[in-house]
Amino acid sequence: MTALPVSLTGTGTGRRGDRAFRAVALASGLLVLVILALIAWTTTQKASSAFSFEGLGFVTHNDWSPSTTPPHFGALALVFGTVITSAIALVFAVPVSFGIALFITELAPDRVGRAVTYVVDLLASIPSVVYGLWAAYTLAPNAQHFYERIGTATASVPVLNALFGGHAEGRSIMTAGLILAVMATPIITALTRESLTTVPASDRAGALALGATRWESLRVAVFPRVRSGMVAAVMLGLGRAMGETIAVALVMGGSPQITSHLFNSGSTLAGIIALNFGEATGNHRAALIGCGVLLFALTIAVNASARAIVRRSDRRLTA
Amino acid sequence: MSVLAAPATSIRTKSVSRGRATRDRLASAWMIGSVFVALVPLGFVVVHVVGKGWHTAMAGFPDFFTKPIPIITTLPGPGMAPAIIGTLLITGFAALLAVPLGVMGAVYLHEYGSGSKFAAVLRFFADVMSGVPSIVMGLFIFTIFTLREGLLGVGGSLALACLMLPIVIRSTEEMLKLVAPELRHASLALGCRQWRTIVSVVLPAAAPGIISGAMLAIARAAGETAPLLFAIGLTSTTNTNLFHGTNTALSYQIYANASSPFAASQDRAWASALTLIAIVLLFTILARVVASRFSKLAAT
């Protein structure tokens, strides 16, 4: 920021510098589009042999048996595993994340709020492989007894016995869902908190002045304004949970199945890739890359719609 | 906020019906309870990782951090140095790729394209890209790089760089927004070209914030496993050349050792987890320190 040796009557080299710099910046920005397009193109191409081998059955058949002759690559059970574990994750993560975000913005004194924010960030900074290690060797063995007890307690309750019955395993869909919940919580919390801070203090003050309790002021003045922000936060948390790989791979094995028993084992799209890709060749490898393509499409759809919701609500707020 | 909340509580105790007061209290209890619920897994993970990893990591200190990985994995004994060095090198090179590109991308979004439709589209896709699962990034690098070049440390770097790029772009853009427009105007008024203004005025002013964002991205990348699975291979000796031969990383070693049925390997997994958390935490704290200095600078 010291001397800036540029004369107003420049010889034109400066202008060239300007153009070059702008071009480099533009190229760096465009890299994002290039990489996304390349991901879609190269992975789809490498998976094409599996797609043409199975046809639509790749997503509609529930039969994933790569080592039989002929092999079958029906990934429905994997899609099911991805959806069910993510759904469990949201069931646990959403109320907790909303609670924390509201605590930080509405309840806590500034200093406490900052400390809680810091702690939630720490939760996000623990690598997923460490969560996986912990869930597989510490959480799962302890959870098994607990699962068995729930199983026997609900054995005669109509809907619950379908969910909690069957053979209870520690390394189950439920454990995977729980660890995904831990990983989705920081994201949902951070985004919810962000959208809560956009509500002007005067809105809350108005409700409070009319005699509303704090909870009523939230319901009347705050929630209607941040609804779309909260939806987007949940969807981004969903995207994170669906794509999470290593923790799920460590917790559950590679045994895809469609079951209503949440204490049984299963597998997810991301998990099966991590577990089997190393040994896979030929069509099996193509099918696993195909799982990646499915996962890519699913997460892109979830993320893009979440971001679109955020954008739209941002525009509405600024307008 | 606390100023606003204060009168509400005094009103509540006097004139609010019991049902409404109960609901309000329940809502507060839910918020406070949520914080404690989130603390439970964090506490357990930290306690268990330290409890199970400390002994192996510290036995015959500093052997665990300096010795190669035992070839016979069933035997107890130290050694994770190749993975520690691998993690630092692979992540470091990824940062070398992603940070300059990400900063330049953000410069385009904020300094050149600000307000334009095209920049909005780029921003949208940067957000979308940050949601691409890391395993998909791993598959991508496998198909585009590893199939041709083989298992190399640099493949892991490329995958991590792809993950870091959108994070760096978005965090840098937020920092550029904080740079006062007057600084740009002053520089332009002195006759500086726009690129000079950006290089010698805007970027230095935003540097601490950019660095802190980049370090958070590095911390995230250092903990990633999935992108490395099919890119770097596996080795038990230190390989400092990212462009030749297979490599290894802490996260990969945790995954590989955790999948093993042998107690000695699992012990090493816990000790590696402790090491990895320490490295990630170090970067996160450094980022915080830099960021807090930046906010002080911005406030003055």
- State ipTM: 0.90
Which residue, among A212, A230, A11, has the nearest Cα to A99 in the 3D structure?
A230
Closest partner residue to A100 (CB to CB) among B28, B38, B100 is: B38
Cα angle A255-A261-A264, degrees, rounded to a multiple of 5: 35
Bridge partners, residue B219, by sequence: none
Q: Work out whether the CA dihedral B195, B200, B206, B211 comes out positive or negative.
A: positive
Q: How confident is the model at residue B8 (pLDDT cuts 50, 70, 90)?
A: very low
Rounded to the nearest angstrom, the minimum Cα separation between A162 and chain B is 27
Report long-range pairs for B10-16 (Cβ below 8 Å, ≥24 apart): B11/A208, B11/A211, B12/A213, B12/A214, B15/A211, B16/A211, B16/A213
For residue A216, how far is the Cα from the chain centroid? Answer: 31
pLDDT at A5: 46
Place of tokens 């390394």: A171
pLDDT at B296: 63
Rounded to the nearest angstrom, the minimum Cα separation between A55 and chain B is 21
B31 to A103: CB separation less than 8 angstroms, yes or no: yes
Residue of B20, B50, B124, B128 best to disrupt the A interface, most CBs of A under 10 A:
B128
A121 to B284: CB separation less than 8 angstroms, yes or no: yes
B16 to A277: CB separation less than 8 angstroms, yes or no: no
Name the percent of chain A in helix, strand, coil, to the closest 5. Answer: 75, 5, 20
B133 to A95: CB separation less than 8 angstroms, yes or no: no
Judged by DSSP in three states, A126 sits in coil
Rounded to the nearest angstrom, the minimum Cα separation between B187 and chain A is 9
pLDDT in tens, chain A (319 residues): 444 444 444 555 667 888 999 999 999 999 999 999 999 999 999 999 999 988 888 988 998 988 888 899 999 999 999 999 999 999 999 999 999 999 999 999 999 999 999 899 889 889 999 999 999 999 999 999 999 999 988 888 888 888 888 888 889 999 999 999 999 999 999 999 989 998 998 989 999 999 899 999 999 999 988 988 899 999 999 999 999 999 999 999 788 999 989 999 999 999 999 999 988 998 999 999 999 999 999 999 999 998 888 877 777 666 5
- Which residue did the predictor score with more confidence, B288 or B183? B183
Closest partner residue to B8 (CB to CB) among A97, A103, A213 is: A213
What are the CA-CA distances from residue A50 to residues A275, A282, A286, B91, B144 (Å)? 18, 9, 5, 33, 18
Rounded to an integer, the average pLDDT of B11-36 is 86
B108 to A29: CB separation less than 8 angstroms, yes or no: yes
- Whether the CB-CB separation of A130 and A179 falls below 8 Å is answered with no
B133 to A129: CB separation less than 8 angstroms, yes or no: no
Closest partner residue to A103 (CB to CB) among B35, B133, B140 is: B35
B37 neighbourhood in chain A, CB within 8 Å: 96, 99
A205 neighbourhood in chain B, CB within 8 Å: 4
Closest partner residue to A119 (CB to CB) among B7, B33, B39 is: B39
Rounded to the nearest angstrom, the minimum Cα separation between A313 and chain B is 14
B254 to A133: CB separation less than 8 angstroms, yes or no: yes
- Which residue did the predictor score with more confidence, B296 or A90? A90
